[in-house]
Structure 1
Amino acid sequence: MSARRGAARAGGTLAERRSTLAVITVCWGLVLVLWAVLTPMYGAPDEPAHVDSAIRLQGEHTWPAPGSAHYLSGVRHSINDEIALPAADRSTFGELLTANPGYSKVVDQMTQHPPLYYAVAGLVLKAIHFESLRWDLVVTALRLFDVLLVLPLPLLVWATVRRLTRSPKLAVLGAMGLFAVPQLQQIAASVTNDAPMMLLGGGLTWLVARYLTGAQRWRDVVAIGVVLGVMLLTKGTGLPAVPFVAVGMLIAAPIVDRWGRRILHAFVALAVALVLGGWWWLRNLYLYHDFQPSGLADVHPTAVWPPGKGPDPGVFLTNVWNGVPASFWGKFGLLRYPMLNVVTDTLTVLAVGIVIAFAFRRGVNRRTALALAVMPTVTLALLLFNIWRIFDRTARIYGTQGRYFYVAIVALLALSVIAWSAAVTSERMRRLAARVVTIGAPALTLYGLSVEYRGAFEKSYLAVDYDGLYTWAYSTPVGPEGIVLVLALVAVALVLTIIRTTRAALERPRPDLPREARPAVV
């Protein structure tokens, strides 16, 4: 048994950090459960469409062309006629589908995506016998399924940062960064195809980080290709992962310094991904002459610009700035309840500014930082291109949503850790920065939860009154007892997480441990 492993099993500092990771993961899961309970039914972006597509696919086993699928009438009835009912008075999905057969006139745009997520969600629906359950219980079950999908995110962030920096302290702080993005938490705890993309994007980032640091066997190459292929068969936000894989494998520090071997590795990984999921996008190009045809093209008709006029770049950039950063950090309730602009603007400028200024400086992590930056950078470029294209065609601006970056959340957090570790050099400032992360990130979570609660149940007033609490208690499927239980568990978990992570980030190496068993210094 190595000294490091022996120290871990004996309860040394490394073991403490492993237990800290477990505490973070449990707290992360409980916070997501609270979001699933707090968010009103169908209160997250596109949630009704995701539910409708899962039900339709498991029942009919067909996937119509983009723009040709329509909501099931039963699902529309739950949205239009039962959303305001107390939970106990809502119908089962079986009752809704029987009483409201067929389809509505409303387009369900989700067939613009590949069907993999909806097929898996359909299996969940069958497993719980969804037709015999109230529809709000079914929505909650699908939300909790997504919570399970994203539960490993703290582990993936920790493992990626630990691999790249060799610092368990930085790894713990990186995992705590998930608590600084409340909007990510709400999206992850809703019914959405973004949930598997967060998991897959995080897993791919970890695999590429391993490749960058020497794990370059053929099984590593195939694993990268498999995960990338599944991403491509899940959602178009996986497309920026293609250049991420290519660049990451080509610029990795090689075990054997031969360009030919790295090129071969990249080719094999991309070929595996093409066979598993890339074919879907080539199919779209062949059938529709577009990588991802819009499912709402007919709903957003083409506009005719007056002679001499066209899309205004100033209007475009203003809308992008007002929409993307705010909806990345926290713009809840179908984008109706935003966090304060001063908060989201400050977080955006600070996060982006530090990365640009410090992440790419010449040094041991420069190559790694360049690779990590590929996926979010390409995501931004494609997002801007698509928003501008729609603006030019419809004279309206759609799609300014920061959640499209969540597929790269592990890469973003790892890149931020690299930048901040280069920016903060003195021991005193590092200890201060660690406290800011371990306390400030959970504080942002609580702030986001308060914004959602006040928006959904208090008409955005800074208040907690009987009417708001009553509405929440009897509109959620878990009832008042369930709310109290979840709130209590989250409160305890947050306190324990703050204490454990602060101790882990600030502790010093034990002098009685062998040198190789001591944790790396931040």
Structure 2
Amino acid sequence: MRDDPAEAAYRRALALITALVTLTGVLWAVLTPAFRAPDEPQHVNSVLRLAYGGGWPAAGEALVGPAVDAARDQAALATDVPGRHLDREGIPAFVTVPPTRDAERGTVTREDALADVVPPGTSTRGLDPEVVDQMTQHPPLYYALAAGVLHVTGTAEARWDVQLLALRLFDVGLLLPLPLLTAAAVRRLSGSRAAALVAASFTLFVPQAGHILGSVTNDALVTLSGAATGYLCVRVLTGDLRLRTAAGLGVVVGVGLLTKVMAAFALPVVAAAYLLASGPRARRVAGTLVAGGTAFAVGGWWWLRNLLVLGTVQPVGIPDRFVESEPEGLWYFLRTVVTSLTRSFFGNFGWLEVRLPDAVFWTAAVVVAVLCGLAVVRGPARRATAVLLLQPAALWCGVLVNAWPDYSAHGWISAVQGRYLFAGLLALGTGTALGMHALLGGRLHRAVPWVTGAAALAAASGLAYGFWGFYQGPSESVSDAAARWAGWSPLTGVQLVLVVSVVLVVGVAAVVGAARFARATPTSRTAPSASTAEQTTAAAATPPATAASSGGSE
């Protein structure tokens, strides 16, 4: 690194961008009011069940325990936050409820952590959905790991808000590798440090990712599994046909499969990666078999067991929550689902009720789509990029297909949430970065400070919008909202100021680090490569006409 100032500047900038992504998740973890993220009470309840030895009941046979039920009341969850897109009649406002004092917040113990046991085979379909914990329709891996975190940190028996924060920070820890894996994938495909830094900052442009991955949710582990799968598929596509790579790929896919069915959409990507990789056919076939066999042994067996024992891949664990209505046709379905999916990918905070303006999420979606399309058509490693983008595309189509039966039969649209696409964040970040590489070529390094600054601004804007939507009532000042935030938080006001200050400092440092990288990077597109090995692997996956344009001077 002493001999290559650009490499040193790149590593510093990447470290700072990674820190900013992670700390943004931390700030979301302390900003979001308790249980104000999709299904968070049920996620916490399932963690507590395993932490206290309650096992993993069949889908639909688990109830919410007394501790979580009381915590929801103490968190005033049955109220509407001020930024809600539509106030509900008869529902009190969150801002009218005085924060529950720390001394009055309950401590979770063995006596109240577990719900009453439901006799096996008992149907809970007629119960209020709020009393049912539907998470046992998923495999238990995430919840077992989170339960271990409670024991390791000494928070298994703690005040519920402290416990909630510990679990949220565990999920933030799962977010940390995402920018590093995305940068590594892009650099391997293009040889471009600049494109790698652009890719690392992608998550900051998706405020919903910070919000969801800073809450308690099994999507955090699926997101990490999806990112690791994408990176290892890049290795395969660039010539790494070693069996240990195939085994590692099988493990990370299997971890995803033992977490949530969404991980199954990575399987076509793995198959396509080996099909299109350069190398002997026998090694590619062997790699496919090893990866597939390992994935099945780690987590795929769960879904086969469901099919054989229950007659369905994923059983339904929650009672019906919607009123029967008449379907309004295919066009209404497509328009509603695509809009809801896009909005909730970029920014539907809380229980999807604090909505980003339409112009914001549609603009973001168009930019990402155009750049990904450009990467496939003109970017370096076009074939590899197309393979990676199969993952978010398959997830997107899977959500639509899954939502159609309920709509056609009952007229309601359910299970349409953008977080289901987060397993494809690495692919979308890669496509966006390589699209910019195709657009700017050797000038991309000059844009890195601007992209990093825009990413930091997008993250800050999302956080500010969430702060307003959660805490600032009509005609109230920012200081009123800040006082309410401090009143509900398990942290003190001074601690909240410290967290915000650290995030701001790291944000500025990331932009400065990106600017220093731009100054340290040669402007010539023919300058020596950052890594001869990277150029070799990039060229192996790139047509000759584009391989030369992926110079490592960036």
Determine if the TM-score, normalized by the shorter chain, exceeds 0.5. Answer: yes
Q: Is the 8 A contact 2:372 2:428 kept in 1?
A: no
Q: 1:15-35, CA deviations, whole angstroms, 9 ceiling, x for partnerless residues?
A: 121121111222222221111
Counterpart residue number, 2:52:
59
Counterpart residue number, 1:483:
496
The answer to whether residue 303 in structure 2 is matched with residue 281 in structure 1 is yes
Q: 1:462-492, CA deviations, whole angstroms, 9 ceiling, x for partnerless residues?
A: 9643321111012101110110110110111
The structure 2 residue matched to 1:360, chosen from 376, 379, 394, is 376
Q: Is the 8 A contact 1:172 1:505 kept in 2?
A: no
Q: Percentage identity across aligned positions?
A: 36
Q: Which moved more, 1:185-194 or 1:122-131?
A: 122-131
Structure 1 unaligned residues grouped into runs of 5+: 1-7
The answer to whether residue 224 in structure 2 is matched with residue 207 in structure 1 is no
Q: Is the 8 A contact 2:199 2:429 kept in 1?
A: yes
How far 1:365 moved relative to its partner? 1.5
Q: Residue type matched to 2:410 in 1?
A: T
Q: Distance in 1 between matches of 2:478 and 2:320?
A: 40
Counterpart residue number, 1:406:
422
Q: Residue type matched to 1:52 in 2?
A: N
Change (3 A) 1:270 1:95: closer
The answer to whether residue 521 in structure 2 is matched with residue 521 in structure 1 is no
Q: Is the 8 A contact 1:300 1:394 kept in 2?
A: no
Task: Please give the residue correspondences for 1:220-369 in structure 2 after superposition, counting only pairs within 5 Å.
Answer: 220-254=245-279, 256=280, 258=281, 260-296=282-318, 298-300=319-321, 303=324, 310=327, 312-356=329-373, 358-361=374-377, 364-369=380-385
How far 1:139 moved relative to its partner? 0.3
Change (3 A) 1:98 1:291: closer
Q: Is the 8 A contact 1:77 1:100 kept in 2?
A: no
Change (3 A) 1:100 1:45: closer
Q: Is the 8 A contact 1:92 1:131 kept in 2?
A: no
Q: Which moved more, 1:12-21 or 1:418-427?
A: 418-427
Q: Distance in 2 between matches of 1:312 and 1:415?
A: 34
The structure 1 residue matched to 2:456, chosen from 436, 442, 459, is 442
Change (3 A) 1:457 1:16: same
Q: Is the 8 A contact 1:44 1:332 kept in 2?
A: yes
Q: Residue type matched to 1:477 in 2?
A: P
Q: 1:350-386, CA deviations, whole angstroms, 9 ceiling, x for partnerless residues?
A: 2113323x22226751211221111111111111011
Q: Give TM-score, length-normalised by structure 1.
A: 0.90
How far 1:157 moved relative to its partner? 1.1
Q: Is the 8 A contact 2:407 2:413 kept in 1?
A: yes
Counterpart residue number, 1:458:
472
How far 1:175 moved relative to its partner? 0.4
Counterpart residue number, 1:37:
30
Q: Distance in 2 between matches of 1:383 and 1:494?
A: 34
Change (3 A) 1:493 1:383: same
Q: 1:141-199, CA deviations, whole angstroms, 9 ceiling, x for partnerless residues?
A: 00111111111111111111111111111101110112111110111111111111121
Counterpart residue number, 1:4:
none
How far 1:310 moved relative to its partner? 4.6
Counterpart residue number, 2:486:
473
Counterpart residue number, 2:92:
none
Change (3 A) 1:446 1:88: farther
Q: 1:470-515, CA deviations, whole angstroms, 9 ceiling, x for partnerless residues?
A: 110121011101101101101111001011113324543299xx93
Q: Distance in 2 between matches of 1:175 and 1:470?
A: 34
Q: Residue type matched to 1:321 in 2?
A: V
The answer to whether residue 132 in structure 2 is matched with residue 107 in structure 1 is yes
Q: Residue type matched to 2:466 in 1?
A: E
SS in 1 for 2:52: helix
Q: Residue type matched to 1:22 in 2?
A: A
Counterpart residue number, 1:384:
400
Counterpart residue number, 1:190:
215
Q: Is the 8 A contact 1:376 1:405 kept in 2?
A: yes
Q: Distance in 2 between matches of 1:278 and 1:41?
A: 33
Q: Give TM-score, length-normalised by structure 2.
A: 0.85
Q: Is the 8 A contact 1:438 1:498 kept in 2?
A: yes
Structure 2 unaligned residues grouped into runs of 5+: 77-98, 119-126, 532-550
Kindly report the root-mean-square deviation, in angstroms, between the aligned alpha carbons of the 2 structures: 2.6
